[in-house]
Amino acid sequence: MSDAPRAPTFSVTRKIRFGHVDPAGIVYYPHYFDMFNGVVEDFFDDCVGASFQAMRSEFRVVTPLRNIEADFIAPCRIGDKLDLALTLVSIGRTSLRILIEGSVNGSSRLTANLAIVFVTSGEGRAVEPPAPVYARLRELIAG
């Protein structure tokens, strides 16, 4: 297997709004974590074909965040259009590793490494992803 960086699996653009920034005029860092969750949710809906709501109602599986590591390289300011590129890095038995890279006009602003685990919505027990979700994730990582 090659160590070359993988191409992003999914990308979205988020406009930085007044409500995202602090008195210094830069994004208040907790808002990035909300954006990361939104990118992952959009990825599941748009690319995997399994919305968070559908996974919960049809399979009784939810996908909480187990771990996150973020590096904030440069600030984002109100009016910036933040491009967020999600790369599916690996699929484990009950989890995923995802890289999110953010840039504005090609200038790097942040990176975040996420570990997401599949758990039952009732007991919170780690489980394998539903079969159709797993199959689609395997297609995406191979592509």
Return the residue matching tokens 């954006």.
35
**Residues 48-66, mean pLDDT to the nearest whole number:** 95
Question: 29-51 pLDDT, tens per residue?
Answer: 999 999 999 999 999 999 999 99
Rounded-to-integer distance, Cα 117 and Cα 96, Å: 6
**Residue 105 in this model has a pLDDT that exceeds 70:** yes
Q: What is the CATH superfamily name and number for domain 10-142?
A: Hotdog Thioesterase (3.10.129.10)
Answer for the pair 85, 101: CB distance below 8 angstroms, yes or no.
yes
Sequence ranges of the domains in the chain: 10-142
Question: 115-141 pLDDT, tens per residue?
Answer: 999 999 999 999 999 999 999 999 999
Rounded-to-integer distance, Cα 82 and Cα 41, Å: 17
Return the residue matching tokens 């910036």.
80
